[in-house]
Amino acid sequence: MMMMMMMMHHHHCGHDDGGGGDGKQTHNWGTEAKEGDVYHPGNQEKDGFGHIAFACDDVYASSERLSSQGVDFKKKPDEGRMKGLAFAYDPDNYWVEIVRREPMNSTSFNLAQTMLRVKDPQKSLKFYIDHMGMTLVREKHFEEAKFSLYFLATIPAGSTEPDPTQPVLELTHNHGTEDDESFNHFTGNEDGRKGFGHVGFLVDDVYAKCKELQDAGFQMKKGPDDGTMKGLAFALDPDGYWIEIIKRGGYDAEATPYTLG
């Protein structure tokens, strides 16, 4: 099983030169004519989605290049306490983290991670490790600031290390939320807060994976035979984030991830 992409709604769509992973952009026709923020980019109170990240060889040079092209920044590389990483704004004001990678003879940027805030890390880790085939490759705890970070990756077959060109899932836990019964994050699909859509995983058998999740007590947003797009499903993780379940290779020569019925 492999995490293949995340989806965000955009009302501006354009070209990028990123490689590795898949960042799906959904454009609803007509929104490009609207002024201001059409979609909710997250990072307000109780928002779950945080940001996506791209890795590059030189954060300073890449930030300077983006700035010269008119890109605005939330944080430049030498601002704040965390030196050497930056946050740019994309055209819809989503935060885009820029981080350093080991030098690679490839694209200027590669999609590095998607960050989601979670209420209870133990429940979330069990879901993504036991059911979605991911491996916890790193964790960092900041006791003074009262938050923790968990990084999960899909390890390629025959390897013990994650592929550096493929993105990881970063789970951010703000300490104490797991003990607050009334607390829930917004997942990005609520009315008035739509922006982040979902993450997606490739599986060999969509129907078998859905049955496994349901047998384990997880709910489905869309079963594989619901609606007109057959063979494609959406499960809900412990925080209610939508998890798209997609057949690896699709159902035809064009790798269409569903059949119409």
Catalytic annotation, residues? 244
**Residue 212, annotated ligand binder?**
no
CB 18 within 8 A of CB 90: no
Percentages of the chain per state (helix, strand, coil), in multiples of 5? 15, 35, 50
Residue 207 φ/ψ, nearest 5 degrees: -65, -45
Residue type, 171: L
Q: Which residue has tokens 């049955």?
A: 211
Q: Cα separation of 226 and 169, whole Å?
A: 28
Structure tokens at 9: 């709604």
**Residue 122, annotated ligand binder?**
no
**Residue 44, annotated ligand binder?**
no
Burial 77-96 (b: 16+ CB within 10 A, else e): beeeeeeebbbbebebbbbb
Q: Cα separation of 81 and 67, whole Å?
A: 21
* 207-to-2, 103, 115 alpha-carbon distances in Å: 16, 41, 28
**Residue 79, annotated ligand binder?**
no
SS3 label, residue 140: strand
User: Which sign does the torsion angle of CA 201, 207, 208, 214 carry?
Assistant: positive
Binding residues for Zn(2+): 113, 170, 198, 244
Binding residues: 113, 170, 198, 244
